[in-house]
Chains A and B, each alone.
Chain A
Amino acid sequence: MEKIASRERGGAAAPSLPVVAPRRRSWLRGDHLVAVLMLLPSIVAVAVFIYGFIIWTGYVSTVKWNTVVEDYSPVGLKNWIDLIRMDRFHWDMRNLLLYAAAFMSQCIIIGFFIAFLLDQRIKGEAFFRTIVVFPFAVSGVVTGVAWRWLMQPTTGINLLLRNLGIVDTRFAWNADPKLGILAISIAAAWQFTGYVMSLYLAGLRGISDEVREAARVDGAGTFALYRHIIIPLLMPVTFTAIVLTGMGSIRTFDLVVVLQGPAFSTDMLAFHMYQATFGLYRFSLGATIGFFMILLSALLVGPYLRSMGGSLET
């Protein structure tokens, strides 16, 4: 990626600057101070609004505030044990795994495939690219509203497939009591695949022609080229895509609200937490779910950040 960056800017003229007497080195140290000071407000904001809140949430998960009356008496891990025992929580985890697997694979596989197609120097690449990324601009709520219509069992996609004579299906989509969550992952993937596709496209463009040429000289066919060279080279993009889609899965909320299916078939952690807090007034339980979501995210983010830590030295 860096090669591209510098190549693009290679042509820019060096900025012309006023001729000034060279300053002393101590001034540069002053500049570092300025940098830190400029960063300080953000540091404070992050410390309070993110870390402070995380700690508050963790704290509330260990107290007894489960009715409308605020009650901060400590109860240790009781809320956690209650949560792990809940049937609804088991559904949430099951749904998370199903959803994440479906969402990730759709985004990555389809995203890569479309990027591959677009990379073939076709006409109208910009046009197709625009269409595929279109859904990304739209909110979760709007996505849900449109897909709810599409997923009505008596109409929508079922009707379309029937009209086209393809197949007479009566899928329940998001109203399916067991697999409703997969239907939601389709709507989510519809929305996000374009973004992943853009990442892959950028990645593909960043692979220089020399590499492809060298592979061709070595006798590699297209399939081998992709399997042994290009896909491994795109590992960083795949990694980013996995992390982003994983994160997105944990936080899915808007779509669940609009596309909610029967019982717990589409329940997810974020929605459970919202209902626990604002519907059941079990604030400590809600905080427990929230903190659990943060822990899960940290698990996913850990490897990502460690890899970033490595590349940070560039």
Chain B
Amino acid sequence: MARRALNRRAFLQLVGAGAGAAMLAACVPVTTPAPAEPTQPPEELPEAGATPTMAEVAVATPAGAAAEAAELTGELEIFSWWTSGGEVEALQALYDILAAQHPAITINNAALAGGQGQGGNMKALLETRMLGGQPPDSFQVHLGRELIDGHVIAGRMEPLDELYASEGWTEVFQPDVIEIASYEGHPWSVPVNIHRSNCLWYRPSRLETVGVTEPPATWDEFFEVAQKLKEKDIPAMAIGEQGGAGGFSGHILENILVSVLEPEAYRGLFDGTTPWDHEGVTKSLEIMNQIYDYANPDFPSTSWGDINDRFVADDGPAMMLMGDWTRGVLQSKGFADYHWTVAPGTQGLFMVLSDSFGLPKNAPHRDNAIAFLKVCGSREGQDAFNPIKVSISARTDADRTKYDEYLQEAMDDFANNEGVPSIQHGAAVKQSFLLDYDIALADLAANRDVEKCRGMLVEAAKVAEIMK
């Protein structure tokens, strides 16, 4: 009996010791193993045009301009959802430049992948932190309404006027872009790249099996080609609309909307001048509904992540309407049997979306955050980041030699075309409307009822107050 009693005591001690040891271990920070990265040789920071020096004082530490040259130390916590292949390395390229400038900063790359839609889990986590008044030093966010309606209106971000002025970004970013980034006359984040939404990726070999040598330029042409393909049992369009709000159809629809409504009426969708039950919207939904007839038959159970695998398969669909990050994904799969053009009906248009970083109020390491933002907006930073990410620089003075064939074409288009903001990727509308929009389209994909979908969109627009 005494022995049993001792065992009980030993048991309790073990519990206590175990718990204690574990708690001690909990105090030691867990570090993520850094993936092997290609390091960029640090270059001299080029001066981006005339820089008014007195504005520097406003953005530098309170100690004055002299302090700007001083060594920055401490941590820097950056939230993002960049965790796949090229994205991680692209972000690391930015970090490397920052590390070269300020080696004493410890960079904490807090990246959380996927989840519900793009960055869903990350957004939930970020929202919780922001609500609790504990923001990270900076976070990835789509340029435009996603940030503005998400955090600016709630009064949680600092305006970046001085930074834009001191770094000369007002000269070097396109007016369209600054427009998207701004609210009430102030810019609220720094775009680190520009992606294009209105791209049509197609497989020449698949099209040739029905004697088509040029990709369709209008939706009427598209359906002609699609019908030919259907007779040979080839899906015309790759769609991955799994889940209740996947967003894939949402991406396609925004390109249909801009081609049917034309840019001005399209923009009117977001400020109330074009109602969401406009006949152009109905026509766009009808086109979308028709596309489903020509999509890969398993589209309701193919996720956005899986669709690329479907596209590269031997029996895959002939075309896919998706943003230009697709190029990076296809490259990472070693796939080469494809080419690109603009989405049908959107010639001369560049549907813009952009990843950006802002400055939250009460950022724990404000100076480090500002240093990071400067790198994000710098020529060196963008030219290091974008070739890896397969997007184009947001600056008009990018070094073209660093960018590949597709990207150079994109840069030309960006300079010459008219820019329109993307719905699906946070530029044109607030996050909550986007979710309702995606839910409405998921309903269309499932129930194929145009009237119902339009009704849901109208309802969503009213709730989001972008329609009277």
Contact = CB atoms under 8 A, between A and B. Distances in A.
A touches B (Cβ under 8 A): yes
Interface of A: 13, 15-16, 67-69, 151-154, 172-175, 177, 257, 260-267, 274-275, 278-282
Given A16-B1, A68-B153, A69-B154, A281 B447 contact: no
Interface of B: 1, 116-117, 120, 123-124, 127, 149-151, 153-155, 241-245, 298, 300-301, 431-432, 435-436, 439, 442-443, 445-447
Contact of B446 (A68, A69, A262, A281): A262
Contacts of B436: 280
Given A69-B154, A257-B116, A262-B442, A281 B432 contact: yes
B242 A152 contact: no
Given A67-B153, A261-B300, A274-B124, 10 more contacts: A172-B301, A177-B300, A262-B442, A262-B445, A263-B443, A263-B446, A278-B123, A279-B123, A280-B436, A281-B431
Contacts of A68: 149-151, 153-154
A275 B127 CA distance: 12
A275 B446 contact: no
A172 B300 contact: yes
A257 B114 CA distance: 12
Nearest to A260: B243
A262 B120 contact: no
A285 to B, nearest CB: 10
Contact of B435 (A67, A151, A280): A280
A263 B439 contact: yes
Contacts of A265: 446
B229 to A, nearest CB: 19
Nearest to B444: A263
A291 to B, nearest CB: 19
Contacts of B153: 67-69
Scoring A15, A177, A267, A281 by chain B CB atoms within 10 A of each residue's CB, the highest score goes to A281
B300 A279 contact: no
The 9 closest A-B CB pairs, nearest first, are A262-B446, A175-B301, A278-B124, A263-B446, A260-B243, A177-B446, A68-B154, A280-B432, A263-B443
21 contacts: A67-B432, A68-B151, A151-B301, A152-B301, A153-B301, A172-B301, A177-B446, A261-B242, A262-B445, A263-B446, A263-B447, A264-B443, A274-B124, A275-B116, A275-B245, A275-B435, A278-B124, A279-B120, A279-B435, A280-B435, A280-B436
B154 A262 contact: no
A263 B442 contact: yes
Contacts of B149: 68
Contact of B298 (A13, A154, A177, A257): A154
Contacts of A262: 241-244, 300, 442, 445-446
Contacts of A177: 300, 446-447
A261 B244 contact: yes
Contacts of A267: 244
A183 to B, nearest CB: 11
What is the predominant secondary structure among interface residues of chain A facing chain B? loop
Nearest to A258: B243
Contacts of B443: 263-264
B425 to A, nearest CB: 15
Q: Which label, helix, strand, loop or mixed, suits the secondary structure of the B interface?
A: helix
A257 B1 CA distance: 52
Highest count of chain B CB atoms <10 Å: which of A16, A174, A264: A264
Contact of A13 (B1, B151, B242): B1
A157 to B, nearest CB: 13
A285 B435 CA distance: 15
Contacts, number: 83
A275 B445 CA distance: 20
A257 B442 CA distance: 15
A67 B152 CA distance: 12
B127 A281 contact: yes
Contacts of B155: 69
A98 B124 CA distance: 29
> For A172, A173, A265, A278, which residue has the most chain B Cβ atoms within 10 angstroms?
A278
Given A262-B446, A263-B445, A175 B300 contact: yes
B300 A260 contact: no
B225 to A, nearest CB: 25
Contacts of B298: 152-154
A283 to B, nearest CB: 9
A265 B432 CA distance: 21
Contacts of A13: 1
Contacts of A281: 127, 150, 431-432
Contacts of A151: 301
A152 B310 CA distance: 13
Contacts of B242: 175, 260-262
Nearest to B1: A16
A13 B1 CA distance: 9
A278 B131 CA distance: 11
A173 B439 CA distance: 20
B155 to A, nearest CB: 8
Most B CB within 10 A of own CB, among A67, A68, A260, A264: A68
A281 B439 CA distance: 15
Contacts of B445: 262-263
A15 B272 CA distance: 82
A13 B4 CA distance: 12
Nearest to A283: B131
Contact of B244 (A263, A278, A280): A263
A279 B435 CA distance: 7
Contacts of A152: 298, 301
A177 B124 CA distance: 27
Contacts of B124: 274, 278-279
Contacts of B447: 177, 263
Contacts of A280: 432, 435-436
A282 B446 contact: no
B103 to A, nearest CB: 37
Contacts of B1: 13, 15-16
B28 to A, nearest CB: 26
Nearest to B241: A262
Given A68-B151, A177-B446, A281-B432, A266 B301 contact: no
A276 to B, nearest CB: 9
A298 to B, nearest CB: 27
Nearest to A264: B244
B295 to A, nearest CB: 13
Contacts of B446: 177, 262-263, 265
B127 A278 contact: yes
A46 to B, nearest CB: 21
Contacts of B300: 172, 175, 177, 261-262
